Amino acid sequence: MKKYIQIIIILALTIIVAVSAFLLPKNNKDYSKEGFYFDTYISIKVYSAKDSKQLDECLKLCERYEKLLSRTLEGSDIYRINNSCGKPVEVDPETYYLLKRALGFCEETNGKVDITIAPLVDEWGFSDKTYSQTEKPDDETINKLVENIDYKNIELSENNIVKLKNPDAKIDLGFIAKGYIADKLKEYLISQDVKSAVISLGGNVLVIGNKPDGSPFAVGIKDPVNTEDISSVIYATDESVVTSGTYERFVEYGGIRYHHILDTETGYPVNNDVLSVTIESQSSLEGDALSTICLILGEEESKNILKKYNAKANFIYEE
């Protein structure tokens, strides 16, 4: 009897192994693709996937969002608004949604972040990287540009209509757009049953699940002083890690460094001792916005907004 039981057990195990081998994905591999969108290099990697078709679709999505949200690409929604001379413009529902979310952050910070800051960014040369000018913008020019910064000049109405009431103001969604796009890429990959992936859009990293071995992803945080080094590592599972820093884009005039995160009241770079802020959150859109907001506000003033969005912040200061 024991012999028969052993035979039955062996047969059962053999069937289980055979069925499992049939049902489990075969020849799954890791695939990655890179590209240049949103004025930065991006990379997307999926683990244990059947093929790379999903990554092709991700790059198509990046192209679509660049055509909607870039302010320098002629014909984009933001370009059309900025060049409408104050006339109403109908935009894509996603553009409308993102503008609405961005205006929400402008309101929450009392204009400390303001998406009508684009002309000031242009004057400093950060938008097209014309850092070769020999002198910094003069105070008179800066003051005139600051007068036109006011997110309340953006009017949203039904049927995705956007109006820029002050034609001298221009919209820049740089503090929030990549986060939104990362969230949409994650949404697509999850819809394709991807269980493990890393989406990297410049300083925006969004991970899906864990690594195939079950361990969390290690996201290195760049040292803002020695930018070739890593200052710390965040172990992330199914979350967003976004860093904003004063080291990313800057120019020097007369031996003084001016970074790209500008004070909407003075027109000059934010002047505090924060070098970088890294945000851990579930939403990359929120993480993207919060990384800039926290760098502007500083650690103490950021506590309430971080609590509201259930996000963690890692501040690095000047020594």
The residues, any chain, with a CB within 8 Å of residue 74's CB and separated by 6 or more, are: none
| pLDDT (0 to 100) of residue 51 | 84
What's at 115, amino acid-wise?
I
22 pLDDT above the threshold of 80: no
C-alpha–C-alpha distance, residues 202 and 225, integer Å? 18
How many domains in the chain?
1
Domain-located, residue 8: no
Domain-located, residue 75: yes
C-alpha–C-alpha distance, residues 177 and 288, integer Å? 8
Give the residue numbers spanning the domain of 233.
Answer: 29-317
136 pLDDT above the threshold of 90: no
pTM: 0.88
Going by C-alpha positions, the residue among 188, 184, 236, 186 that lies closest to residue 211 is 236
Domain-located, residue 260: yes
Domain-located, residue 200: yes
Domain-located, residue 2: no
For residues 183 and 284, is the Cβ–Cβ distance under 8 A?
A: yes
Alpha carbon separation from 149 to 49, 107, 113, 160, 246 (Å, rounded): 47, 13, 10, 23, 21
SS3 30: strand
Q: Tokens 């860093």 identify what position?
A: 243
Other CB atoms within 10 A of residue 290 CB: 31
Least trusted range by pLDDT, from 59-63, 79-83, 133-137, 267-271: 133-137
Domain-located, residue 15: no
275: part of which helix (H) or strand (E)? Answer: strand 274-281
Other CB atoms within 10 A of residue 278 CB: 25
| DSSP β-bridge partners for residue 269 | 262
Kindly report the CA angle at 229 between 223 and 233, in degrees rounded to 5? 70
pLDDT digits (tens, 9 = 90+) for 204-241: 999 999 999 999 999 999 988 887 889 899 999 999 99
19 pLDDT above the threshold of 60: no
Domain-located, residue 23: no
pLDDT digits (tens, 9 = 90+) for 252-309: 777 888 899 999 999 999 988 999 999 999 999 999 999 999 999 999 999 999 999 9
SS3 226: coil
Residue 196's domain is classified under what CATH number?
A: 3.10.520.10
| pLDDT (0 to 100) of residue 27 | 59
182 pLDDT above the threshold of 70: yes
For residues 273 and 254, is the Cβ–Cβ distance under 8 A?
A: no
For residues 66 and 37, is the Cβ–Cβ distance under 8 A?
A: yes
Domain-located, residue 14: no
Which tokens belong to 211?
Answer: 């690594």
Which tokens belong to 294?
Answer: 């926290």
Q: What are phi and psi of 62, to 5 degrees?
A: -60, -40
